[in-house]
Every structure is written in structure tokens, then in C-alpha cells.
Amino acid sequence: MFANLNYIHIFVAGIVYFIIGALWYSVLFGKIWAGMLGLVPAEADKKQMPRMFATTFALNLVITFSTACVLHFVDPGTCVGALKTGLLLGVGFTLTSTAMNNMYAKRPFKLTLIDAGYHITGICVAALILTRWM
């Protein structure tokens, strides 16, 4: 199975996923998200950003690789099929696990929607890229 995957496409999907996250947590929902978590950036946090961004990108690659593996077996064939598969993965795994964690941490459901929404969007876009480009 791994031999049949296109690693360039997985890498590109990972880059797009990372860009979605950058937009999601800055322009779109950054202030709301940080406010709900009570985050105030300190100088020490800024020094950690390159390492955190590199780790985030590596984890995005793991997600896009896993998505490519599922797509290999499902073979959705169309953009609609890719979106359905992305939604299944995103809602089935990301939304549910994020909701459980945030429920026990007594965090607002709006935070769950922001965090899970990023991953659902990223997985759906990655599924589209991987399906149309394979």
C-alpha cells in the first residue's frame, strides 16, 4: 500500500493543511480562540514558535499521510466522494475526540468547534487534493 502513495502529493497536501491552520488561528479565529483559552503571548512563547510550527507541520504530514492511506482503500473517485471521506474522518475522529477532551476540561463548545473545524477543513481539503491529484 505505501508504495502506491504519491508522497509529493501528500507533502503538498500537508503544506496546504498547515496554511489553513495559519489562517484559521490568526486571521479567522485567532483572537476568539486565544481569548477562550486565556492565552497571552509572552516573549518565551515567541522563541518556541519555530519549533512549534515545525512540529505542527510534521503532524499535518502524519494526518495527510493517514488520509492518503484511507483514500487508497476507499477510492472515492470524485470530489464529492473525497469530501464525504474527509468529513467522515474529520467528524468521526477529530470532532469526537476534541469534544470529549474539552468536555472534561470544561472548555466552551465554541472552542471545540474552532479546533475541530480546523482539522475537519484541513482533512477535507487534503482529501480533495489527494483524490483529484492521484
17 within 8 A of 125, measured Cβ to Cβ: yes
Distances (CA, A) of 9 to 12, 15, 27, 56, 62: 5, 10, 26, 18, 13
Overall domain count for the chain: 1
What is the pLDDT at residue 134? 61
Which residues span the domain enclosing 20?
2-133
pLDDT band at 12 (very low <50, low <70, confident <90, very high): very high
Which pLDDT score is estimated for 19? 98
Q: Is the pLDDT of residue 65 over 80?
A: yes
Q: Residue 117: its pLDDT value, please?
A: 98
Cell of 108: 466552551
Q: Which of 33-37, 42-46, 125-129 has the lowest mean pLDDT?
A: 42-46
Look up the pTM and report it: 0.93
Residue 101's SS3 state is helix
Q: Cell numbers for 1, please give them.
A: 500500500
